[in-house]
Amino acid sequence: MRRYFGTDGVRGTVNTPPMTAEFALALGRAAGHVLTRHLSHQPQILIGKDTRLSGYMIESALCAGLTAQGMNVLLVGPIPTPAVAYLTRSLRADAGVMLSASHNPAGDNGIKFFAADGFKLPDEIELEIEACIDALPPLPSALEIGKAARVDDARGRYIEFLKSSMPRGMRLDGFKVVIDSANGAAYDVAPRLLRELGCDVISLHDEPDGYNINRECGSTYPEAMTRRVVESGADIGLALDGDADRLIACDANGRIVDGDRVIAILAEHAHRSGALTGNGVVTTLMSNMGLERYLNNMGLTMHRAAVGDRYVLEMMRDKGCNIGGEQSGHMILLDHNTTGDGLMTGLQLLSAMSEQNKPLSDMAENMTLFPQKLWNVVMSERKDVLADTQVQKLIGDAESRLGDNGRINVRMSGTEPKLRIMIEAEDEGLMLDIGEPLTETICERYGNK
């Protein structure tokens, strides 16, 4: 049983357990002990963060715990989560840490670990760290502690890494791009990258102040991006979340291109060039049935994993697929990086547009998505709603009504006390007739009063 680590590290509201300075210090000591005891050299760990005010506090406390336990720490400052995964490998660190709560509000924060290979820590290591938190080991002697140093060129290294993912010599001159950095970790990297490649860049929400990350901007609020694209006559809009590991795009008409459409575009482009591996892609239980039919018509398979990039990645490695992702815009392109990377995804979209000489609006025009809606039941605390026999009956009745012409997925959020109800059907009226009363009934029983 996990006590602290969820599907995406430790996450919570700042100054509320477990997201406190005291916990970060203990976590640093526990992680330092677990990560060092199997190594013959003094280990090195890299820490990055997004632009939340609490990043300073948590970074300092975590760094203190890690160095106290004998680890050397490399501090790279505000930088996207996928940059931490890349730099951990590039700088030959023994592990990496990202301090971010992704698309959550500024009052939340999180601590996510990467192994030396840039992939997330294995479950067994996370569980070992958890067990160590409650029984901290003895501290090493005074002269065996670690030291901390800052890496000044981390952003430049990451920009060069991103550019290396494109076909050799390719530039993006002539493209007009609106980029929304969500006042987050990519506020500097994203517009710099696109300008270096020759784009005409309109940069939105690139002035973080510690409080405004994800505030009515970025991938969860793409309206500002779509408006600016239409007003400015841009070719594409790219909206990142707070730690830049996910992307929501829009075409020149302001039409949203979500993760399902991005998968369709990138999979078809890779399939045409013979670069797609595993003869398919990996998505999640939330991905639209329209995407599945679209891929099947190309002779490709769509594998569905549980929701969460951890599970998408596990299935990608199991099935030998190099493209996978979530409808929310969290895309994993294993040929290029070991975790979701919003800027990498945006570059691959622009590369496909350039190579095919097509606007984004034409690149998945034959894919028809089923009407789909997501309802959220907000609770004061996590509850085992799905064990309720009445809820089970309601879900079973809904599945019977949908038959083969739709589907329903009900699950607890992995990061928040929310029950998520997703329904899709070929007939939008049927979808709403099922979803509205189901959500209302569950909300009456379990929702915040």
In percent, how much of the chain has pLDDT > 70?
99
Domain boundaries, the chain: 10-153, 177-255, 258-362, 372-446
Query: What tokens were used for 132?
Result: 């160590």
- 1 pLDDT tier (thresholds 50, 70, 90): low
* pLDDT(365) > 90: no
pLDDT tens-digit profile of 216-242? Answer: 999 999 999 999 999 999 999 999 999
Q: What is the CATH code of the structural domain delimited by 258-362?
A: 3.40.120.10
Whether the domain at 10-153 and the domain at 177-255 fall into the same CATH topology: yes
Predicted structure pTM score: 0.89
- 131 pLDDT tier (thresholds 50, 70, 90): very high
Q: What average pLDDT does the structure give for the chain?
A: 94
Question: What would the DSSP string read from start to end of 88-124?
Answer: HHHTT-SEEEEE--TTS-TTEEEEEEEETTSSBPPHH
Q: What is the CATH code of the structural domain delimited by 177-255?
A: 3.40.120.10
pLDDT tens-digit profile of 310-362? Answer: 899 999 999 999 999 999 999 999 999 999 999 999 999 999 999 999 999 99
More confident residue, 364 or 136: 136
Residue 235 has what pLDDT? 98
What's the mean pLDDT in 441-445? 87
Give residue 181's identity as a one-letter amino acid code.
Answer: S
Of the candidates 332, 313, 345, the one whose C-alpha atom is nearest the C-alpha of residue 219 is 345
What's the mean pLDDT in 37-47? 87
pLDDT tens-digit profile of 183-225? Answer: 999 999 999 999 999 999 999 999 999 999 999 999 999 999 9
Fold of 10-153: Alpha-D-Glucose-1,6-Bisphosphate; Chain A, domain 3 (3.40.120)
* pLDDT(414) > 90: no
Give the CA distances from residue 338 to residues 54, 269, 273, 310, in Å, rounded to whole numbers and listed in that order.
27, 20, 22, 11
Cα Rg of the chain (Å, integer): 22
- 381 pLDDT tier (thresholds 50, 70, 90): confident
Sheet with 247-250: list strands edge to edge: 200-204, 176-180, 236-240, 247-250, 256-257
- 449 pLDDT tier (thresholds 50, 70, 90): low
Active site residues: 102
Q: What is the CATH code of the structural domain delimited by 372-446?
A: 3.30.310.50
